[in-house]
Amino acid sequence: MSLEQPMTASTHTGLRQRLCDGPPLVGTFVTVPRVEILEIAAVSGFDLVVLDLEHGPFGVEALPALIAAGQGAGLAVVVRVAENSEQAIGAVLDAGADGVLIPHVNNAAAAGAAVRAARMPPAGTRSLHAWIRAARYGADPDYAATADNGVAVLVMAEGQEAIRDLPGILATPDLDAVFVGPMDLSASLGLTGQPGHPRVTALAGEVLTGAAAGGRAGGIFAPTVEQAATWFAAGARLVVVSVDTDLTRRGFAAARDALDDLTPSIRRPTRRSNVDR
Ligand code: 3PY
Ligand code: MG
């Protein structure tokens, strides 16, 4: 496959460079828009968080504080936009995100539109504002020239159409990563809610292999750490493991279950934990 701009471009910095040739990255989705959640992810050893504007109950107004807190704690902060539009993508990059994750990118045309929205002219069509957070409020005189260097663009392959057009998506100039959404992929195969189904994992594996062969980073969401481990073994450059809500619920449930085991006097008659599900 010929690529106009391979990922090894020496100008790449930050998350772009880490996706390209750094150690594999471990992330998690954040749907609870609290500084504390990001700081807990950081002290727990995560490399990256994805602030989720597609499924989380918050908007761009929350981003500056969350991104600042995450970056200050040492995390790379990616934002998943709710839609593939110039406005949505530009807004999260203006807020200073290290990368943007675009859901439901079903074909090469959609991938091209996403990348153009994220890149400054002449590579793309992103609107320049020199006094935004990402430009250090005007204190970065080189912002227009350097903005693209560190910003990672990750498009989600999460439907059968995207799998069919994978070569076209991978050939998109200036794209950094293709990221599999196994939940929606399972639904598109008529296997809703079965991200571990062999037909889903086979296609996901094809995306990761294809991405590596095409000079892009392959990433994937894994609902469990066990699935995450298999994806790292399959060569994933980025695995986003679970979601803040599920990790919190599992922690709560594990503590409550452990108390039941240790203290028969407070044991619930029926164990309600779903920690293993
Ligand atoms: C998916 O698996 O479809 C996702 O979008 C992960 O959140
Ligand atoms: Mg999805």
pLDDT (0 to 100) of residue 269: 81
Kindly identify the ligand whose nearest atom is closest to the C-alpha of 31: 1
Neighbours of 36 (CB within 10 A): 9
Taking CA atoms only, the protein residue closest to ligand 1 atom 5 is 181
| Residue 266 half-sphere exposure toward CB, CA atoms < 13 A | 8
pTM here? Answer: 0.94
Q: Given 55, 104, 129, 197, which residue is catalytic? A: 55
By CB neighbour count within 10 A (0-12 exposed, 13-18 middle, 19+ buried), where does 236 fall? buried
Alpha carbons 157 and 175: distance in angstroms, whole number: 13
Catalytic residue list contains 129: no
pLDDT (0 to 100) of residue 7: 47
Domains belonging to the chain, first-starting first, are: 9-243 (3.20.20.60)
CB of 158 closer than 6 A to ligand 1? Answer: yes
Give helix 14-21 / helix 143-150 axis angle, nearest 10°: 30
Closest by Cα among 36, 75, 29, 73 to 54 = 29
Per-residue pLDDT tens, the chain, 277 aa: give them: 333 444 456 789 999 999 999 999 999 999 999 999 999 999 999 999 999 999 999 999 999 999 999 999 999 999 999 999 999 999 999 999 999 999 999 999 999 999 999 999 999 999 999 999 999 999 999 999 999 999 999 999 999 999 999 999 999 999 999 999 999 999 999 999 999 999 999 999 999 999 999 999 999 999 999 999 999 999 999 999 999 999 999 999 999 999 999 998 988 887 665 445 4
pLDDT (0 to 100) of residue 39: 98
Atom of ligand 1 lying closest to residue 185 CA: 3
Q: How far apart are the first and last CA of the chain?
A: 41
pLDDT (0 to 100) of residue 268: 84
Q: Which of 179, 183, 189, 192 to mutate to test the pocket of ligand 1 (most atoms within 8 A of CB)?
A: 183
Alpha carbons 86 and 118: distance in angstroms, whole number: 8
pLDDT (0 to 100) of residue 9: 60
Q: What is the SS3 string spanning 68-129?
A: HHHHHCCCEEEEECCCCCHHHHHHHHHCCCCEEEECCCCCHHHHHHHHHHHCCCCCCCCCCC
